Amino acid sequence: MEQPPIGTVISTEESPNSSEFSFVISENSTVKKGQHVTVETSEGKIIARVADIVKTNRYFERAESVREFERSGKPVSEVFPAERWEYVVAEAAALGVYNDGRLMRSAFPASPGAKVFSADCGLLEKFFGLDLEKGMLLGKVEHHDIEVKLNMTRLLQKHMAILAMSGAGKSYFTSVLLEELLDRKKEHGQMAVIVIDTHGEYIGFAEDRNFMGRSDVIIGDEFRISVPSLSSQMIAEFMPSMTSVQKREFGKLLARMKSEKKGKIFDMKDLLSYLENSEIKSTTKDILSTFLVDLESTKMFSSYDNPPLDKLAKAGHLTIMDISDMTSQREKQILVTYIAKKLFDARRSGEIPPFLLVVEEAHNFAPEGARREAAISRNIIEKIAREGRKFHACLCLISQRPVNLSTTSLSQCNTNIIMRVTNPYDLDHIGKTSEGLTNDIMKSIPSLRVGEAIVVGEAVNFPLAIRVRERTSKKNERGIPLEEAAVAFGENCEKKKEDAAAFM
């Protein structure tokens, strides 16, 4: 049975044109902002998004007339049949044209008088390019009963970014994404997933009975870098201020030590001792010694790796690097640098399966405009962003300050998941770096509710507003509500006073 029309296209001073049209909503129809509608044209079927809804009434168009009538003591509605002239008008932005399975840009306007219909679910699935067979279920299309299943290759191969202000639902959406990746069937393709968890927001996966067998948590303090596996280039990444002469001398020293200790383990202290007994010029030796002592003081360097590569990256498995216990930003960056380079090199040589590296607070690890000394991990993140797709090394960058995130990294994220953002500088940056965002979508971003997101880029044919589905994994965020923290602090202070009084 054919559905009834929900409205009729009308002429205004500016529309209909090839990019927008307005339609008066039928008396018994309900249309919502953000809903998708269709109208037939000579090109094919235009699919449009309702950008706004306005009410109009010719009897209330002129302020002076309304004021004069109300001065008489009678409302306008008693003098004129004003209720009969009230209309609800929807303003729609044309997304594209669908014709015999082909998608085209709208190049010809809808005709005034043409009937408008609510978009058919099957048509929207094809129009947005949803993958109903093997796609990952992330939510539903806003105002339509359509499951949003996104193709894994389109979503992740060319990297993705999740951009939103604090509290808008970034971690919740990421948890839904992780669930989908862990639950994928082998025949549909499984990835290794590694998360840099800055606030302990994903550790619940390792405590959830449905995911604990496929999830591991590595605490930041337990992380170790194997000194025997280090190269002079990697040390130079940790110490950006090293000169070319110092790099050359250190490279020779490290090669000699590895050759002499072949088959034996050694750590940073052994390397320092070997440097002290070397014949390197004293001025260079002192500087290199200072560098190595600085690295040794982090207590991150050992004779072994933790986690080892075979535990870090396994198909269908999640490894959570919980660095919430680490206070030094430099140490966090060293950790991210080592893990990212280790994964990328192993993937290029085919040692590990395709992987997704999820980086929370990405603007702290790949900051735009910061000096190299303050952005140790930026180099490798940008390298994976530029070259990773060729080797199926994928990035997911999560940030609440996209304006502070490396432009090189963000520009290579071909899919953006945008949730609520209110900072005007961040909004402007998003508008410039995300293709396909129309004015009406940009205006809607600050008013998005928690759990609402806009998907734009490679993963979908056209920008798509979705409602994120409910997560099934255990939520285990560290931290308590503000009120509880204040009460607990007060109770702790009182207890200390009582204990002190009892002692005296």
**Kind plus residue range of the DSSP H or E element containing 350:** none
Is residue 212 domain-shared with residue 353, that is, in the same domain?
Answer: yes
Is residue 449 domain-shared with residue 345, that is, in the same domain?
Answer: yes
Specify if 462 maps to a domain. Answer: yes
Dihedral (C-alpha) 305, 307, 311, 317: value to the nearest 10 degrees? -150
Environment class of 127 (CB within 10 Å of its CB; exposed 0-12, middle 13-18, buried 19+): buried
Is residue 384 domain-shared with residue 286, that is, in the same domain?
Answer: no
Residues 6+ apart with CB under 8 A from 222: 306
Is residue 314 domain-shared with residue 189, that is, in the same domain?
Answer: yes
The alpha helices in 297-348, defined as continuous H runs, are: 309-312, 329-348
| Residue where a domain terminates, one of 256, 278, 300 | 300
Which pLDDT band, with edges at 50, 70 and 90, does 434 fall under?
confident
Higher pLDDT, residue 405 or 99 = 405
pLDDT at residue 105, as a whole number = 85
Specify if 139 maps to a domain. Answer: no
Cα atoms in the Cβ-side hemisphere of radius 13 Å centred on 429:
23
Residue 321 sits in a domain of what CATH number? 3.40.50.300
Nearest to 395 by CA among 382, 408, 376: 382
Specify if 478 maps to a domain. Answer: no
% the chain with pLDDT above 90: 66
Specify if 61 maps to a domain. Answer: yes
Average pLDDT over every residue of 333-361: 97
Average pLDDT over every residue of 75-101: 79
Is residue 101 domain-shared with residue 115, that is, in the same domain?
Answer: yes
Full-model pTM: 0.88
Specify if 473 maps to a domain. Answer: no
Residue 27, pLDDT > 90, answer no
Specify if 80 maps to a domain. Answer: yes
Is residue 200 domain-shared with residue 100, that is, in the same domain?
Answer: no
Is residue 256 domain-shared with residue 363, that is, in the same domain?
Answer: no
Bridge partners for 156 per DSSP: none
Q: Do 69 and 120 contact (CB within 8 A), yes or no?
A: no
- What is the distance between the alpha carbons of residues 143 and 35, in angstroms, rounded to a whole number? 6
Is residue 253 domain-shared with residue 206, that is, in the same domain?
Answer: no
pLDDT at residue 65, as a whole number = 67
Q: Which of 63-67, 164-168, 332-336, 414-418 has the lowest mean pLDDT?
A: 63-67
pLDDT at residue 79, as a whole number = 59
pLDDT at residue 468, as a whole number = 96
Specify if 400 maps to a domain. Answer: yes
Specify if 492 maps to a domain. Answer: no
The parent domain of residue 240 ranges over 232-300
Domain total in the chain: 3
**Kind plus residue range of the DSSP H or E element containing 197:** strand 192-197
